């Protein structure tokens, strides 16, 4: 079969290649299926020809790009009505059968880890026998098959098909995922890869890094694991093996985050990884109010957050702090407390997003019991602009934290983040603001109440740069 796998465009472009569909491509190629990958931000000019030649068109969907995905599906069916459209990815796994309400032109949907679901579909296995597949029968009825088991031995997967994308077009070309799943229980998180933590062996990780280094010239490795240090013994073995390789020209980034309690429990690991090139770490702190952390079941304390940041600073590692606005127990009064805490602890690189509930999460149930959705849930599935979900449009509120307050709080924290960047990292700010797409997005989504102040920051930056 001829299969084209598509990553829809993102407003500012994708920093890293689409690892998920690269894994699917490699599994399909192992049994001689013909596969192409189209990244709309990078090589959309190849799309027209690829669709005409394909039996299957697979599209990866996150909630932020569903509108772009819908356009691609419509375009593909117009170009080639006979092509079978398959969707997968986080948005599909969350909404399951509801996907066919959002995208009536879709033929199949893959839920969960899609490598072998897609393979069995391409191999022509009976539709009713493919676990993890959602499909429509001849009468148009949507049928959801039983879920597919998680892949237990990740080492059985072939290396991602990096040769099918132009890595030179991606800033984070060296993205690598060495584990899947997360054993923790944060109320807002829908775990696409499940609660069971599964890993590649240390030997397999080093082999993949070696191949990336020598075949593709990659020197900066970006680890996309949900929790790289969940198994500290494995992490230590990987560090020791890198040391033995004597790769003195590499750098490492943990961009998807390391839990603060892992850093505090294993400072020697951080020190060891620093010696072999660790440059930056992201921290999913989410809130600097302990009551909010407890209600969100983060299982961390502010004391540990402070200790983790001190460890990173001691090792001279750049760090970025993720925050959320609107978690359970949060309120507008916490905005000032957040600013003070960030200043007190010398945190200048951080960002914030609105807390958004997903179906089948504890947060979704919390909203149903203690809050309210701002329009009927049926419309959330079909009409809600999910691509804007973390910007300024809350889809829920509580009596103690109204939607307007959430929007204002988000804007104020983002404004404060911009001020900190201006004051402490002007070079990075200039790079961001000279990206027309990103600048336009910032202006579009900043809250009207502080837009004037935000534009003054931009004016100050460009004035002082002359």
Q: How far apart are CA 336 and CA 342, in angstroms?
A: 10
DSSP state of 98: G
Tell me the C-alpha to C-alpha distance, in Å, between residue 36 and each of 7, 46, 55, 197, 235. Answer: 11, 10, 12, 31, 34
Residue 372: partners with Cβ closer than 8 Å, 6 or more residues away: 396, 397, 398
CATH of the domain spanning 173-423: 3.20.20.70
Report, as ranges of residue numbers, the positions in the chain whose pLDDT lies below 70.
11-14, 41-43, 192-194, 257, 377-392, 425-466
CA dihedral 207, 210, 211, 213 (to 10 degrees): 160
pLDDT at 466: 46
Q: How far apart are CA 429 and CA 424, in angstroms?
A: 9
pLDDT at 34: 98
Q: Encoding tokens for residue 59? A: 């599209």
Burial class (CB in 10 A: 0-12, 13-18, 19+), 25: buried
Q: Which fold has domain 1-142?
A: Rossmann fold (3.40.50)
Quickly tell me which residue has 């109010």 as its tokens: 289
CB 374 within 8 A of CB 299: no
Per the confidence metrics, is the pTM higher than 0.85? Answer: yes
Domain locations in the chain as residue ranges: 1-142, 173-423
Q: Encoding tokens for residue 88? A: 């997968």
pLDDT at 116: 98
pLDDT at 454: 53
The 3-class secondary structure across 202-237, one letter per residue, is HHHHHHHHHHHHHHHCCCEEEECCCCHHHCHHHHHH
C-alpha of 370 from chain center? 28
Q: Considering Cα of 68, then 72, then 75, then 78, what sign does the dihedral take?
A: negative
């Amino acid at each position: 079969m001829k299969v084209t796998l598509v990553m829809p465009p993102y407003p500012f472009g994708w920093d890293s290649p689409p690892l998920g569909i690269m894994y699917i491509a490699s599994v399909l190629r192992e049994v001689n299926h013909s596969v192409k990958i189209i990244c709309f931000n990078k090589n959309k000019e190849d799309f027209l020809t690829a669709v005409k030649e394909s039996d299957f068109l697979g599209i990866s969907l996150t909630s932020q790009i569903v509108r772009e995905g819908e356009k691609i599906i419509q375009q593909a069916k117009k170009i080639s009505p006979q092509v079978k459209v398959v969707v997968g990815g986080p948005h599909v796994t969350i909404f399951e059968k509801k996907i066919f309400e959002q995208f009536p032109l879709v033929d199949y949907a893959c839920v969960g880890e899609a490598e072998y679901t897609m393979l069995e579909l391409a191999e022509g296995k009976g539709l009713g026998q493919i676990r993890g597949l959602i499909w429509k029968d001849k009468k148009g009825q949507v049928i959801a098959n039983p879920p597919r088991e998680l892949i237990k031995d990740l080492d059985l997967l072939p290396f991602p098909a990096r040769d099918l994308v132009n890595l030179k077009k991606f800033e984070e070309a060296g993205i690598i995922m060495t584990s899947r799943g997360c054993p923790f229980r944060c109320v807002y998180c829908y775990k696409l890869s499940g609660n069971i933590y599964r890993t590649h062996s240390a030997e397999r990780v080093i082999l993949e890094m070696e191949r990336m280094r020598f075949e593709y010239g990659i020197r900066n490795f970006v680890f996309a694991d949900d929790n790289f240090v969940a198994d500290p013994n494995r992490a230590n073995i990987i560090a020791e093996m890198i040391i033995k390789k004597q790769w003195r020209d590499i750098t490492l980034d943990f961009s998807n985050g390391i839990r603060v309690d892992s850093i505090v429990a294993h400072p020697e690991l951080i020190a060891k990884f620093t010696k072999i090139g660790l440059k930056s770490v992201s921290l999913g702190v989410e809130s600097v109010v302990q009551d909010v952390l407890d209600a969100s079941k983060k299982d961390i304390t502010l004391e540990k957050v402070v200790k983790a940041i001190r460890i990173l600073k001691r090792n001279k590692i750049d760090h970025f702090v993720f925050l959320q606005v609107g978690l359970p127990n949060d309120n507008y009064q916490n905005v000032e407390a957040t600013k003070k805490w960030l200043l007190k602890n010398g945190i200048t690189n951080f960002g914030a997003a609105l807390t958004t509930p997903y179906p089948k999460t504890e947060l979704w149930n919390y909203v149903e019991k203690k809050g309210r959705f701002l329009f009927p849930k049926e419309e959330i599935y079909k009409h809600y602009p999910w691509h804007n979900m973390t910007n300024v449009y809350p889809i829920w509120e509580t009596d103690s934290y109204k939607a307007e307050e959430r929007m204002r709080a988000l804007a104020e924290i983002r404004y404060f983040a911009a001020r900190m960047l201006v004051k402490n990292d002007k070079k990075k700010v200039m790079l961001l603001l000279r990206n027309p797409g990103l600048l336009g997005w910032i202006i579009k989504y900043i809250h009207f109440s502080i837009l004037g102040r935000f534009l003054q920051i931009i004016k100050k930056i460009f004035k002082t740069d002359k």
